[in-house]
Chain A
């Protein structure tokens, strides 16, 4: 039964993917055969020939997309092609024809799936090249972003989890710190950026600080919540076994609260990954967020989309790692 559902859902996902790519392909596809030629019927050709128009001229203009009615007008001019061109082309003579240089059809600037595919392949096969400060493999750029997230996030966890324990175990601390948490928590990550840039100065440290501050709240509140919610029976087991406070925290409260704490950590890593892209777009220099901004400015939408896709994939992998951790610490009561 479950297998059947799995199979069906996979099938449905694939269908959605294929339909999406197909729509994308159709809307962005541009045929490279210039303007469309006009096919004339035999009677139309005969009419034009009857008006003394040369067969090669008929072919030349119809290939440029000039309609039969306009060809009749050209024929009635009774001018040779050389003379028309010398006069500045048929357009100069007041005959409207499709413009070769007019703006391309909408969507054709947007890269097609095949362009993205080949760009993606190039990125995946050579992720670590360095060809200049502004031209590095996405693997390297991703490394910069991940490193910043890792540093900011680890610092955040190192503060949030012990502090969360303190708040969760002591109602006094909870009451004292709660107002600060409530005010600071809803501040948008990017609002911290100017403060960080002003006080810290260094852009590198500023983006790490923003990661730190944004990862802090979910971990802090979840740890406090998890620790405060540990069943008193389990704490009593620790007490009747004369465990020290540290030992109780490590052997009873930590495993009991671990699922809630890891949930907070999972939310935080998601936020950190969202924030790093935005922060790097702001401060520039390196990182996958900067890449997106840079490719946009260079109008390399294909490369930009590849970068965006990679951001999604890395975010998914980070989330999956924490999901696995969550399963590892889960317990059934």
Chain B
């Protein structure tokens, strides 16, 4: 079996729980992400999503387990893995443009300043920022504009893997919608592998090829990998009419509403936790393929309950 582009193997993370014991956030978690895939990870607050992402970014060392990207072991942060943090993490003493240039200059140290600037301006324009606004400091920009700058900084570096930690969590619904569209537009053009944390089900369905859902912590697991069987390009006002939309959505709501709790809390005792693949398709044209797979049928039945 060939390994996926990004392979997370037997990942375990423990922290001291503050009372002398250890808190196991997740244990022996194993999953993969294909090249060019847009994966969203969905789970309740505190289940360990950011912890996984920090390990993928190389910002944190896992207690045990490995992350392999493109055949290489991940250890320490790298320009190949761009990160968009929830709180934007722009450097407040630099203008929007200078923030993007900061990243581009780090990636392309042989470029002249004008090359760096031209490249940065191009990516800022892609997220709808140009003119006067790009010379403003982050404190003079709205939350939405800051997050655009942060996304531009990450995309401008063409990382092999783009990690986003609840990038739209702090934004109002309208702004979130606009930036989601911009994100999709850029992603379509680049075929970038994206791993994004969110707690918004609709956002995940709109953006992702596959949604990984996590049970509650401690001993959280990536329990399911739900395929989003809605063709691209997707538009938010059209996908809600797609026959699969509500089926997928209901499944996710059901999982987060009750099953994430039911499945939580037990140590697996050394057993490998891989997510079950869930494929929900109500279009009636694509159902035959999985029907002779018993596990697949069982999952479909679970969904239909």
Q: Chain A interface (Cβ within 8 Å of chain B)?
A: 233-234, 236-237, 239-243, 251-252, 255-256, 258, 329, 331-333
8 Å CB contact of B89 from A236, A243, A255, A331: A236
Contact B91 A241 (CB under 8 A): no
> Given the known A-B contacts A233-B89, A234-B89, A240-B79, are A331 and B59 also in contact in the complex, defined by CB atoms under 8 Å?
no
> Interface residues of B, CB < 8 Å — how many?
23
| Residues on the B chain within 8 Å of A236, using CB | 59, 77, 83, 85, 89
Contact A242 B92 (CB under 8 A): no
CA–CA, A243 and B107, complex, Å:
10
8 Å CB contact of B85 from A233, A242, A329: A233
Interface positions of B from 78 to 97, Cβ below 8 Å from A: 78-79, 81-83, 85, 87, 89, 91-93
Contact B92 A241 (CB under 8 A): no
B139 within 8 A of A: yes
Q: Chain B interface (Cβ within 8 Å of chain A)?
A: 57-59, 76-79, 81-83, 85, 87, 89, 91-93, 102-103, 106-107, 137, 139, 157
| Residues on the B chain within 8 Å of A256, using CB | 91, 93
Q: Nearest Cβ in chain A — how far from B135, in angstroms? A: 15
Q: Nearest Cβ in chain A — how far from B106, in angstroms? A: 4
Contact A240 B137 (CB under 8 A): no
8 Å CB contact of A333 from B57, B78, B92, B103: B92
Contact A331 B82 (CB under 8 A): no
CA–CA, A255 and B157, complex, Å:
23
A interface, over-half SS: helix
Contact B103 A241 (CB under 8 A): yes
| Residues on the B chain within 8 Å of A234, using CB | 89, 91
8 Å CB contact of A242 from B59, B87, B106, B137: B106
CA–CA, A236 and B54, complex, Å:
10
Given contacts A240-B58, A241-B157, A251-B102, 5 further A-B contacts (CB under 8 A): A233-B85, A234-B91, A236-B83, A255-B91, A331-B137
Contact A331 B93 (CB under 8 A): yes
| Residues on the A chain within 8 Å of B91, using CB | 234, 237, 252, 255-256
| Residues on the A chain within 8 Å of B92, using CB | 331-333
Specify the chain A residue showing the minimal Cβ separation from B94: A255
| Residues on the A chain within 8 Å of B85, using CB | 233, 236-237
